[in-house]
């Protein structure tokens, strides 16, 4: 499968035979994304919470492509989802979508849409083509990363490192240690001045202190996650 980083916390996960998944599609207003919402053709859109840098263009892209929008029931409640295919579920639960299995994971973060309370923020565990991908969303570090999430054999973890709104580099390294992910892709940094981080310093420290490999993707860059890496 191919993982494309679109800046901030937006990723496309394109299966070789599995579905095309779009995560937290913050496109308009994302200073690192040169694409426009029309450039995305997902079948499934996963949104971690209602903040505008995550919900982004989800509604427009879902509508334009007939894509399924999956998020917490509480978030869908405050959105205008008329005419959209949606899956509203909650933490601990999951669903199958074509060849993918999606589970909602806890996160430690808030959620609202223009001031309307939108329940709890979440992360996602995505099982696709024999790989487990963990997308943390916006979160602080929390103990269940070690107790609950590490039960999955995580091939790739997408972790925020920006600090201020989420965990910063130090906590992300501890989280990576707990998660035992083979590969960590840092996200949610440098988009705004308050979340500026030295990602290369993070990579060096992560690889020194954990068994994880750090894959720094610039906006628009992609990686292949295939059998050769397992």
Kindly list the residues in this chain that would bind Ni ion in the complex (CB under 5 A): 51, 138
Q: How far is the CB of 229 from Mn ion (least distance, A)?
A: 29
Angle, alpha carbons 65-69-75 (nearest 5°) = 145
Considering the rule CB under 5 A, would residue 24 count as an interface residue with Mn ion?
A: no
Other Cβ atoms closer than 10 A to 193: 7
What DSSP assignment string belongs to 46-79?
E---SSHHHHTTHHHHHHHHTPEEEEEHHHHHTS
In this structure, are strands 222-224 and 44-46 parallel, antiparallel, or unpaired? unpaired
Under 8 Å between Cβ of 180 and 154: yes
Under 8 Å between Cβ of 80 and 72: no
Q: How far is the CB of 16 from Ni ion (least distance, A)?
A: 31
Cα(28)–Cα(26) distance, rounded to whole angstroms?
Answer: 6
Considering the rule CB under 5 A, would residue 138 count as an interface residue with Mn ion?
A: yes
Using the minimum distance from each CB to Mn ion, give the nearer residue, 6 or 138: 138
Considering the rule CB under 5 A, would residue 6 count as an interface residue with Mn ion?
A: no
Using the minimum distance from each CB to Ni ion, give the nearer residue, 43 or 138: 138
Report the residue from 6, 43, 53, 155 that binds Mn ion according to the rule CB under 5 A.
Answer: 53
Q: How far is the CB of 78 from Mn ion (least distance, A)?
A: 17
Q: How far is the CB of 48 from Ni ion (least distance, A)?
A: 8
Using the minimum distance from each CB to Ni ion, give the nearer residue, 5 or 165: 165
Using the minimum distance from each CB to Ni ion, give the nearer residue, 188 or 203: 188
Interacting residues with Mn ion (CB under 5 A) = 53, 138
């Amino acid at each position: 499968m191919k993982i494309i980083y679109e800046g901030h916390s937006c990723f496309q996960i394109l299966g070789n035979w599995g579905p095309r998944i779009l995560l937290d599609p913050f496109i308009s207003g994302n200073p690192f994304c040169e694409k426009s919402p029309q450039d995305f053709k997902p079948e499934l859109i996963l949104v971690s919470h209602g903040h505008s840098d995550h919900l982004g263009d989800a509604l427009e892209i879902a509508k334009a492509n007939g894509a399924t929008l999956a998020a917490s029931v509480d978030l869908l409640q405050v959105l205008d989802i008329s005419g959209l295919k949606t899956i509203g579920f909650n933490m601990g639960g999951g669903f199958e979508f074509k060849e993918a299995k999606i589970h909602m994971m806890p996160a430690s973060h808030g959620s609202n849409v223009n001031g309307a309370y939108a329940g709890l923020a979440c992360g996602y565990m995505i099982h696709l083509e024999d790989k487990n991908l963990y997308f943390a969303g916006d979160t602080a570090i929390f103990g269940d990363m070690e107790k609950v999430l590490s039960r999955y054999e995580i091939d790739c973890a997408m972790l925020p490192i920006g600090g201020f709104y989420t965990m910063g580099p130090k906590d992300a390294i501890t989280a990576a240690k707990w998660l035992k992910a083979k590969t960590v892709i840092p996200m949610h940094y440098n988009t705004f001045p308050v979340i500026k981080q030295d990602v290369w310093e993070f990579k060096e420290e992560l690889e020194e202190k954990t068994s994880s490999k750090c894959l720094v993707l610039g906006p628009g860059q992609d990686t292949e996650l295939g059998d050769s890496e397992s």
